[in-house]
Amino acid sequence: MKFYDSIGPNPRIVKLFMAEKGIDLPKVEVDLRAGENRQPAYLAKNPAGQTPSLELDDGQVISEITVICEYLEEKYPSPPLIGTTPEERAETRKWVRRLDLNICEPMANGFRFSVGLPLFKDRVHCIPEAADGLKETAQEWLTRLDGLMAGRDFITPNNQLSLADILLFGFVDFGISVGQPLNTDNKTVAAWYERMKARPSAAASA
């Protein structure tokens, strides 16, 4: 297999996931700033022009971060990061969906439509006037999550590290670097962030 990497939170999610599992795959760097992901050679592999992508040994290419992580979970089930039972997997997927829609996507588009506008304005449909509202949405949900996580070290109720934690950490860490800091009043989330940042996978995926 071959992993097509680049800057940004999306590839980092998969690198965090692989680091937690001890998976080491050959990497090909895609120059996102130069628009290499929108050139014919890369579009032939991933017509959406997004990173990351995972090329299998037979030439098939898998894209979308959660799909890649699901695939790697099936190929390398230990340690489990999505769950070992149908119930645990459903719970993890529920949280991944909630976090992606309500925190990660608003945070990412809040960046693209403001600080990242010079890079993205000619690549995707940008709505600069929506940037502040999207950032607020992400922060409101982080505050909501702070209450939902009370008494836990990790996001899902079984209190085990999962894809939900990995997904959110990748985006929160990115958000902090682009002017979307954590609200320190959210003490549960702030403590969770510091624990995630201290894991070896955080340094290995940076």
pLDDT for position 101? 98
What does pTM read for this prediction? Answer: 0.96
- Average the pLDDT over 3-16 and give the result: 97
Q: What is the pLDDT of residues 181-195, one digit of tens each?
A: 999 999 999 999 999
User: Which residues, other chains included, contact 89 with Cβ-Cβ below 8 Å and sequence gap of 6+?
Assistant: 82, 83
Which tens digit of pLDDT belongs to each residue from 35-87?
Answer: 999 999 999 999 999 999 999 999 999 999 999 999 999 999 999 999 999 99
pLDDT in the model for residue 164: 98
Residue 76's pLDDT is: 98
pLDDT for res 23: 98
The arithmetic mean of pLDDT across residues 127-132, rounded, is: 98
Written as six digits, the tokens of 160 are: 């085990």
Q: What are phi and psi of 146, to 5 degrees?
A: -55, -40
| CA distance to 125, 138, 172, per residue, from 176 (Å) | 24, 12, 6
- Across the range 13-17, mean pLDDT stands at 98
Predicted confidence at residue 69, as pLDDT, reads 98
Q: Which domains does the chain have, with CATH numbers?
A: 2-75 (3.40.30.10), 86-205 (1.20.1050.10)
Mean confidence (pLDDT) of the chain: 97
What does the longest C-alpha to C-alpha distance in the chain come to?
Answer: 50
pLDDT tens track for 144-194: 999 999 999 999 999 999 999 999 999 999 999 999 999 999 999 999 999
Q: Crossing angle of helices 187-198/131-148, nearest 10°?
A: 90
